[in-house]
């Protein structure tokens, strides 16, 4: 199925976005989406590009896997901090990118984001930005790291971004699903900002809170570490069960299946929301 631009998916209903680290991730995410009969966002992050040494090979494999699947899917560049990578994404078939200037001072983040948003729109890309610190340098609950609704409204108006990642209590790279979100802040941000809100660090958020967050106004839910943990657990179990295994297909397949099943389950939460 042809790739779908991210704004089109977000206009229909809230969506989950899952990170692709290797081809097995892409295959598993798409299989889970087909199983759930739901749309999905395939994300490739700057960290994954750094791991592989280049964007184009993984992007090409992910794009072809999506086009040959029966799932409605968008291809999105996640957490890019360098304009060069955003420019490259336009040549690799991405429909949207996320520029992360959240660690910059507010004025610098606004200026850099506005310039990149103009370039993206001129080149057919939608752009997501971040305001506030997801996880923050001192943790998700430190003073000053959460997104202020008034600042968010001004930021969106002056940059022209298509979606906004906001800091509301989640943290990146959590392996336990114990995060507590500020649902009232999500609702106030929803009322203040005219573009879809994005929840980063969703791996640490329990199911019920994810459903409540969508109900309060979140439209794009990013998940990575949670799937990686399940993938790794399944691989460990396969290798422990048969120490003679040497064919990577024999121990990667259980990880791929575990991710596909969890993607399908998580996508079902959208229906509940």
Structure confidence by residue, pLDDT tens digits, 22-63: 999 999 999 999 999 999 999 999 999 999 999 999 999 999
The reported pLDDT for the residue numbered 132 is 74
Global pTM?
Answer: 0.93
CA distances from 100 to 23, 46, 188 (A): 25, 10, 22
Q: Tell which residue, 97, 221, 127, has the closest CA to residue 168.
A: 221
Burial bucket for residue 126 (CB in 10 Å: 0-12, 13-18, 19+): buried
Contacts of 97 (CB under 8 A, 6+ apart): 76, 77, 80, 86, 89, 120, 125, 126, 127, 128
Spans in the chain with pLDDT lower than 70: 133-144, 170-178, 272-273
The reported pLDDT for the residue numbered 225 is 92
b vs e for 250-259, b when ≥16 Cβ sit within 10 Å of the residue's Cβ?
ebbbbbbbbb
The reported pLDDT for the residue numbered 84 is 95
Active site residues: 78
The reported pLDDT for the residue numbered 140 is 46
> Residue for token digits 């750094």?
50
């Amino acid at each position: 199925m042809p790739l779908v631009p991210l704004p089109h998916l977000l206009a229909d209903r809230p969506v989950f976005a899952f990170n692709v680290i290797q081809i097995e991730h892409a295959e598993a995410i798409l299989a889970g989406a087909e199983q759930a009969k739901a749309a999905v966002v395939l994300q490739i992050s700057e960290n994954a590009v750094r791991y592989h040494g280049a964007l184009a090979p993984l992007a090409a494999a992910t794009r072809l896997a999506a086009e040959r699947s029966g799932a409605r899917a968008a291809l999105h560049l996640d957490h890019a901090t360098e304009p060069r990578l955003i420019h490259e994404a336009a040549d690799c078939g991405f429909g949207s990118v996320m520029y992360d200037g959240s660690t910059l001072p507010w004025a610098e983040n606004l200026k850099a984001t506005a310039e990149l948003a103009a370039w993206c729109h001129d080149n057919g890309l939608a752009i997501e930005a971040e305001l506030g610190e997801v996880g923050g340098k001192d943790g998700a609950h430190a003073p000053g790291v959460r997104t202020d609704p008034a600042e968010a409204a001004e930021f969106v108006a002056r940059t022209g971004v298509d979606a906004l990642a906001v800091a509301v209590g989640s943290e990146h790279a959590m392996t336990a699903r114990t995060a507590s979100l500020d649902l009232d802040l999500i609702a106030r941000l929803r009322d203040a900002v005219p573009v879809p809100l994005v929840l980063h660090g969703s791996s640490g958020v329990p199911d019920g809170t994810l459903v409540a967050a969508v109900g309060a106004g979140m439209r794009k839910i990013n998940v990575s570490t949670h799937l990686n943990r399940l993938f790794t657990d399944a691989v460990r179990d396969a290798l422990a069960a048969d120490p003679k295994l040497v064919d990577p297909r024999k121990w990667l397949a259980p990880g791929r299946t575990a991710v596909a099943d969890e993607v399908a389950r998580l996508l079902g939460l959208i229906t509940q929301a």
